[in-house]
A and B are shown apart, each in its own frame.
Chain A
Amino acid sequence: MNNKNPIEHLLIAGRGFTPLLTALFLQKKWGSLAPRMTLLQCGENPDPPVISCVSSIKQFHKELGIAEKDFVRKTEASFHLGTLYQFSDDRPEFFMCEAPYGVNLRAIRFNHWYTRYLNAGQRAQLDDFCMNAQLAKRGHFAPTSPKPESVYSQICYGYKLLSERYSNYLLAQLKPGFDMLSDEIQEIQTDLNGIHTVHFSNGKSISADLYIDCSRERLLNSALTGTCSEPSKEDWRIEVTPEYGLGPPHNLLTLGNDKLIFTTQLHGKTYHQEVTCNPNQLPKWQLDPQPWQKNCVTIGPATSNRPALLIDPLHLVASSLFRLYTSWPTTMDFETPAAIYNESFSDEWSRIADSDSLHAWAACNRNDKDLTDAAKHRMRVFINDGRIPPYENETMTEDQWATLFFALGIKPKVADPLSEGSDDHWLVAQLDKLKETLQAAAQQAPTMEIFYQNEVIR
């Protein structure tokens, strides 16, 4: 039977923000029952130089007790409204974000009305109906309004920030009482239960109840298994571009010629990451089938042999940490918790693989064989009826999938049949009005530079 927290001592290995987030999250979540933690700084720092994260980070920060103002000031984070997709061919650019596109009318999703709007001969991009897109295209920014009747309540934002500053900030948030080591691992002694003891070259050693491996090289987990190949390294190119100042409130993604190029501008620098997605060059995606093995859980960069292209790393770490908490061992028998964790992990990554494959598809030859079956399924149903089939463990909402399809130039053949009885004039007037309202509101909002000056720096 349970005795307080069955995990009394935790060893967290790795460098960068993942082990720090792990420690902070577990400290907060467990409160007085938090296990004793040892942070072992080991391996290379796997963090990208800059992180752009979606709005889920705000909820996560709440869990961590992080106040937004303090965080933004101390990390000099700026605000992130979404990503502008640009295509190397002549397709029009599109602003992709988590905020709503349009509003549901007569209990029918907006994308159906938009399809009808196009069928009625009107010309507008779907992102013309999105508050985030309208703000970003003007370089403006406003925070989310708590009043549901305000158009600004639709704004959904995350942050852009430098990984190193984030790590320093997290370290300062950690409550004392943990040990920090940077000793070199010499040997990992295992037994039937998993890792028994980690021996260091200086002669010291540590035994813990549970080991969390956040290292890119899987320094702990590799002692138990060799199931997953070495994670690839990310290639970043950094340019000094003081002329862009703070940078825009969004990122850029160029798709085409078999690659995706991510561009982030922040505080006078431009960061480029180029990812090959030619299926012939890309290593076949290997997920760790069992990130939780015996008494060792792998979290972060080493859980797959290449990173998720479109999901930000903080979101993934946060979701792994919630999963770890939910499946936390109730006794010293780890078999059931590991099974719960591993199944939920692989469900989530199957869904991530779907959206990744769709981007790779768009950047390469739009060859259907590059898509996962579930991505093909969604695309087929979307083209046919403008609907997104239900999947468990989705990382994107139905609306986000529909938007992603529109972003990649994939449009449904028909709209919701229930929308078909409505009159075209009524529909066009409704959508035109919405577009104008959003444009006017976006125009009124301050530029991001001014907002930052007034609200953050001052």
Chain B
Amino acid sequence: MPEPLAHRILIVGGGTAGWMCAAALSRRFAAANLHITLVESEQIGTVGVGEATIPHLRYFNERLGFREPDFLQATNATYKLGIEFINWGQVGEAYIHPFGVFGKDFRDVDFHHLWTRHRQEHPEDSLFDYSISVLAAANGKFAYPSGKKNDLLSEYSYAFHIDASRYATFLRRHAESWGVKRVEGKITQVHQHTDTGDITKLTLDNGTALEAEFFIDCSGFQSLLLSKTLNTDFIDWSHWLPCDRAIAVPTSSDGPPPPYTKSIAHSAGWQWRIPLQHRTGNGHVYSSNYMSDDEALAILRKDLPGEELAEPRQLKFTAGRRRHTWVKNCLAVGLSSGFLEPLESTSIYLIQAAIMKWMEFFPRTGDNQVRRDEFNQQMNMEYERIKDFLILHYHATRRADSPFWNYCRTMDVPESLRISMDMFRKVGYLKPYKHGLFMVPSWVAVLIGQGIIPNSWHPAVNEWDADALRINMEKLKQQMKAAASQLPDHLTALQRHCTTTNSNVEPWPKAAMSLYSVFS
């Protein structure tokens, strides 16, 4: 008989991470009769930010059996087709990093080679005019990607902007109905086995003791179990990702919500704008080495889309990750395991990835060393690959208007990133990874969006003479423009989809673990 699964699971924390864990475990392991308890402290509260997501969240919701319209309604969500980066490459420039691909590949050569050549004679031409998601986003349009492969309207995916606290409530409602027991209280003591160092029980401020076989640390930046108890060291990446503070403030909206996130670079960081159905989330992420808190708040307030709906909140963080996320009988999920700053909305994805992988390597009552090592290795790879992509945004800039940007532009970057940028610059090549989150289309978007244009292109695209190429590129651009313009307005689509009645509801596409497509 195989070793039995660990049965009594205690989740520490009721933020997005805690409730995603609780819901996933109670739903997916329904037949295994796990005893799942979640402890959280209202007194401590949650970080309460984290409102932009990526398409993978749809897969998570689908696996848990949630209807997309229910989710939209419960979280006051809007759709997200990408992120607009303003003032990143240079002040006054902007581009959208879309959840979709660019153009059409030619003879197994990525489209950006065709475009690089075309641009030689048409320097005003924009790569971003060859992306359905960019065109739809920029024009405030949204529709589900079509189910027909090779159709222009099938080559993108979508995510959501959500009210994070409402998502936690939504998950909690389901998790509790699936058997999760919630305990309110502040953990004051963590007990460990004297020989093994395993965590054995937690004591709450009211004296209650909670025992379990396995503990999931979702305690946020506190990292109560993984760091404070098990002393797992922190790998600090703040020399590459120098922002370490954020001020967040919700405001009223100033018009219909755009179907994308805005990221506006300032002199020592950047500002987010996340449109929800009922309000807009705003925040200024900055480096305290280069800007004071007062200055950061003043900059944020100068550029708010509506009236402030709450007091601004400050959050402090350091970019980096814990060396291991599963140590002894404790798994850390969410901010307790690391934080790579919110630039590409990767945190909730990393929560999801940790939960999904961990469910595959679920702990058993015996020795868990091999599965623990494997899980940690796979999570580390996720973090490492995202890290390079985030650093790229800061480093690939021509901005020289502030000490912060001078630092970012000239800093030493990881060798892997340096090589990627160098090869792209020389010949337009990007390594086609199979594993990890951001693939070739994302790298192309940020590199070209921030002004790194390859010096040469794959010669296969020389098959067309300049005129034929111009005609073909123009035709493709027009087809894309026409296709995108036919899509309904974002708000109209949202109203149509955001219904809890089953009759006449437009079927939403199946979810895939991909940034660029709804097909697996």
A interface with B by C-beta (< 8 Å) = 1-6, 29-33, 107, 119, 322, 325-331, 333, 336-337, 339-340, 380-381, 384-385, 387, 389-390, 392, 394, 413-418, 420-422
Task: Say yes or no: B374 contacts A417, CB within 8 Å.
Answer: no
Beta-carbon nearest neighbor of B110 in chain A: A326
Task: Say yes or no: B2 contacts A328, CB within 8 Å.
Answer: no
B426 within 8 A of A: yes
Contact with B5, one of A336, A340, A381, A417 (Cβ below 8 angstroms): A417
- CB contacts (< 8 Å) of A389 on chain B: these are 374, 377-378
Contact with B31, one of A385, A414, A416, A422 (Cβ below 8 angstroms): A422
Per the 8 Å Cβ criterion, residues 330-359 of B in contact with A are: 359
Known contacts A5-B462, A326-B108, A330-B457; decide if A392 and B435 are in contact (CB<8 Å): yes
B423 within 8 A of A: yes
- CB contacts (< 8 Å) of A326 on chain B: these are 108, 429, 458
Shortest beta-carbon distance, B426 to chain A, in Å?
5
Determine the distance from Cα of A102 to Cα of B219 in the docked complex, in whole angstroms. 42
Contact with A417, one of B30, B32, B456, B459 (Cβ below 8 angstroms): B32
Determine the distance from Cα of A394 to Cα of B32 in the docked complex, in whole angstroms. 34
- CB contacts (< 8 Å) of B508 on chain A: these are none
Contact with B459, one of A328, A336, A339, A394 (Cβ below 8 angstroms): A328
Shortest beta-carbon distance, A146 to chain B, in Å?
15
Beta-carbon nearest neighbor of A108 in chain B: B360
Given contacts A336-B423, A417-B32, 11 further A-B contacts (CB under 8 A): A5-B459, A328-B458, A330-B426, A336-B429, A339-B423, A385-B370, A385-B374, A415-B2, A416-B360, A421-B30, A421-B32
Task: Say yes or no: A384 contacts B371, CB within 8 Å.
Answer: yes
Known contacts A385-B370, A389-B377; decide if A30 and B460 are in contact (CB<8 Å): yes
- CB contacts (< 8 Å) of A390 on chain B: these are 378, 381, 434-435
Determine the distance from Cα of A2 to Cα of B463 in the docked complex, in whole angstroms. 12
B186 within 8 A of A: no
Task: Say yes or no: B374 contacts A387, CB within 8 Å.
Answer: yes
Shortest beta-carbon distance, B378 to chain A, in Å?
7
- CB contacts (< 8 Å) of B459 on chain A: these are 2, 4-6, 33, 328-330
11 contacts between A and B (CB under 8 A): A4-B462, A6-B459, A33-B462, A325-B108, A329-B459, A330-B428, A330-B459, A380-B370, A389-B378, A414-B3, A417-B32
Determine the distance from Cα of A2 to Cα of B114 in the docked complex, in whole angstroms. 12
Beta-carbon nearest neighbor of B423 in chain A: A336
Beta-carbon nearest neighbor of A344 in chain B: B431
Determine the distance from Cα of A336 to Cα of B370 in the docked complex, in whole angstroms. 39
Task: Say yes or no: B3 contacts A330, CB within 8 Å.
Answer: no
Task: Say yes or no: B370 contacts A384, CB within 8 Å.
Answer: yes
Task: Say yes or no: A417 contacts B462, CB within 8 Å.
Answer: no
**Chain A, interface SS category:** loop
Determine the distance from Cα of A177 to Cα of B117 in the docked complex, in whole angstroms. 29
Known contacts A325-B108, A336-B426; decide if A418 and B29 are in contact (CB<8 Å): yes
A4, A337, A414, A417 — most chain B CB neighbours (10 Å): A417
- CB contacts (< 8 Å) of A414 on chain B: these are 2-3, 364
Determine the distance from Cα of A325 to Cα of B108 in the docked complex, in whole angstroms. 9
B contact residues, total (Cβ < 8 Å): 40
Determine the distance from Cα of A329 to Cα of B381 in the docked complex, in whole angstroms. 31
- CB contacts (< 8 Å) of A30 on chain B: these are 460
Determine the distance from Cα of A49 to Cα of B163 in the docked complex, in whole angstroms. 67
Which 8 pairs between the two chains have the least Cβ-Cβ distance? Answer: A421-B31, A330-B456, A417-B362, A414-B2, A384-B370, A390-B435, A421-B32, A5-B459
B interface with A by C-beta (< 8 Å) = 1-3, 5, 28-32, 63, 107-108, 117, 120, 359-362, 364, 370-371, 374, 377-378, 381, 423, 426-429, 433-435, 456-460, 462-463
Determine the distance from Cα of A339 to Cα of B108 in the docked complex, in whole angstroms. 20
Task: Say yes or no: A420 contacts B426, CB within 8 Å.
Answer: no
Determine the distance from Cα of A330 to Cα of B434 in the docked complex, in whole angstroms. 25
Shortest beta-carbon distance, B437 to chain A, in Å?
13
Determine the distance from Cα of A417 to Cα of B359 in the docked complex, in whole angstroms. 7
- CB contacts (< 8 Å) of A327 on chain B: these are 429
Task: Say yes or no: A381 contacts B374, CB within 8 Å.
Answer: yes
Task: Say yes or no: B429 contacts A340, CB within 8 Å.
Answer: yes
- CB contacts (< 8 Å) of B361 on chain A: these are 385, 387
Determine the distance from Cα of A3 to Cα of B462 in the docked complex, in whole angstroms. 8
A330, A340, A387, A390 — most chain B CB neighbours (10 Å): A330
Beta-carbon nearest neighbor of B459 in chain A: A5
- CB contacts (< 8 Å) of A3 on chain B: these are 462
Task: Say yes or no: B5 contacts A418, CB within 8 Å.
Answer: no
A2, A6, A340 — most chain B CB neighbours (10 Å): A2
Known contacts A33-B463, A330-B458, A417-B32; decide if A392 and B360 are in contact (CB<8 Å): no
Shortest beta-carbon distance, B513 to chain A, in Å?
12
Beta-carbon nearest neighbor of B422 in chain A: A336
Task: Say yes or no: A2 contacts B371, CB within 8 Å.
Answer: no
Task: Say yes or no: A417 contacts B107, CB within 8 Å.
Answer: no
Known contacts A385-B361, A385-B371; decide if A32 and B463 are in contact (CB<8 Å): yes
Task: Say yes or no: B2 contacts A2, CB within 8 Å.
Answer: no
Determine the distance from Cα of A390 to Cα of B361 in the docked complex, in whole angstroms. 14
- CB contacts (< 8 Å) of A322 on chain B: these are 108
- CB contacts (< 8 Å) of A2 on chain B: these are 117, 456-457, 459, 462
Beta-carbon nearest neighbor of B113 in chain A: A330
Determine the distance from Cα of A144 to Cα of B357 in the docked complex, in whole angstroms. 34
Shortest beta-carbon distance, B118 to chain A, in Å?
12
Task: Say yes or no: B2 contacts A413, CB within 8 Å.
Answer: yes
Task: Say yes or no: A340 contacts B423, CB within 8 Å.
Answer: yes
Task: Say yes or no: A418 contacts B28, CB within 8 Å.
Answer: yes
Determine the distance from Cα of A30 to Cα of B457 in the docked complex, in whole angstroms. 15
B29, B63, B117, B429 — most chain A CB neighbours (10 Å): B429
Contact with A331, one of B31, B108, B456 (Cβ below 8 angstroms): B456
Task: Say yes or no: B458 contacts A420, CB within 8 Å.
Answer: no
Beta-carbon nearest neighbor of B426 in chain A: A336
Determine the distance from Cα of A416 to Cα of B433 in the docked complex, in whole angstroms. 26
Beta-carbon nearest neighbor of A339 in chain B: B423
Shortest beta-carbon distance, A230 to chain B, in Å?
32
Shortest beta-carbon distance, B182 to chain A, in Å?
23
Shortest beta-carbon distance, A2 to chain B, in Å?
6
